[in-house]
Every structure is written in C-alpha cells, then in structure tokens.
Amino acid sequence: MITDIAGLYIFLAGLACLFVLRFYNGKFWYVFLIMGIGLMALRFTMDDLVILKPNEQKEEYLTFQNSIVYTYGNGKTENVYIGSNTIINDTEFDLEVESVAYGTTAYSTNGNEHEASIPSYSCQLLSNGIDYYYNEPPSSIRVKGGGSRIKFWLHK
C-alpha cells in the first residue's frame, strides 16, 4: 500500500517521462514512452482505500491488494476486501453517505438522498468516491454548460 500523495508522484513521474521523450532524440526513445504510459496507467489501476480515524482524520492509500487484515481501534480484527472505493470506519460513530445534486436548480439540504450507512468499526465498499468528508458541502459549485453534477458527502 502506498499513500495517495505517492500515487500523485507516480503519475507525475510518468508525465515527466513523456516530457523528456518530447525532447529526446536518442536511440532508446521508446523506453521513455513505455515508462511514461506505464507509470501514468499504474496510478489509475490501483484501488482507493480510505481509513477514517477519530477526530475526523482520514488516511488515504492506493493498493493492488484485494484484501488486508485490519485491526480497529476497539481491538476487533477483520479481513477487509478492497475494491475501487473502500472505506474503513475506525471511529465509534455510525457514518452516513448522502448524494448532493448540483445543477440548474438550487442545492437543498432537504433534497439530499441517503446512499449508504457505515456502522462504527466496520468497512464498506462504496459505488462512488466521497467528495466531502464531515463538513457541510458547498451550497453551489460551478457546473459547465448548465449541466448537473452529483457529489457525495460523508458525515456523522
């Protein structure tokens, strides 16, 4: 497992390889092409794992592993299956995930739809990534072309 920041550096290393390729006229130019595309693709094939800690802290990781053994803060140990959007709730609070719709109509807190519940000291595989952790989402965002956008909010 690597941190989300390290995943960004992997992507940037791939981009740098492609940038070097632009100015490199040597014999092994294809090495930079393969490394650039490979490193950039590597970042996007890894699964996201978010561990929610007490005091509204979170740790984000990227991994190729399909499961890990995780020990929660209360001492419970569990084999956690990891998919594209896995959340581990290592807090004593039950958490809720709601969708927030943005677009041509105004945002309304009453209009949010419940998406999932994550009990305390448990894990859950979500169908979508979380855009807002704990804090109230903004009342409006810029949506190009007058379209609509759905974002996801995790809170207590």
DSSP 136: P
Q: Could you tell me which of 50, 79, 59 has the C-alpha nearest to residue 67?
A: 79
Is pTM beyond 0.85 here? Answer: no
Residue 110 pLDDT: 46
Each residue's pLDDT expressed in tens, for the chain with a length of 156 residues: 788 788 889 899 999 988 888 888 788 888 888 988 998 888 888 888 999 999 889 999 988 888 889 999 999 999 998 988 899 999 999 999 998 887 755 444 445 788 889 999 999 999 888 999 998 888 877 777 767 788 899 998
Residue 50: φ, ψ to 5°: -120, 125
Strand runs labelled E in the chain? 2-3, 47-53, 57-63, 67-71, 77-81, 85-89, 95-102, 113-118, 122-125, 132-133, 149-155
pLDDT of the residue at 109: 43
User: Is residue 104 within 8 Å of residue 146, measured between CB atoms?
Assistant: yes
What is the C-alpha to C-alpha distance for residues 59 and 12, in angstroms, rounded to an integer? Answer: 21
d(C-alpha 35, C-alpha 49), whole Å? 25
Determine contact, residues 100/151, Cβ cutoff 8 Å: yes
* DSSP letter assigned to residue 15: H
Q: Please give the Cα distance from 153 to 97 (Å, whole number).
A: 6
Check residue 28 and give its pLDDT. Answer: 84
The single-letter code of the amino acid at 66 is: N
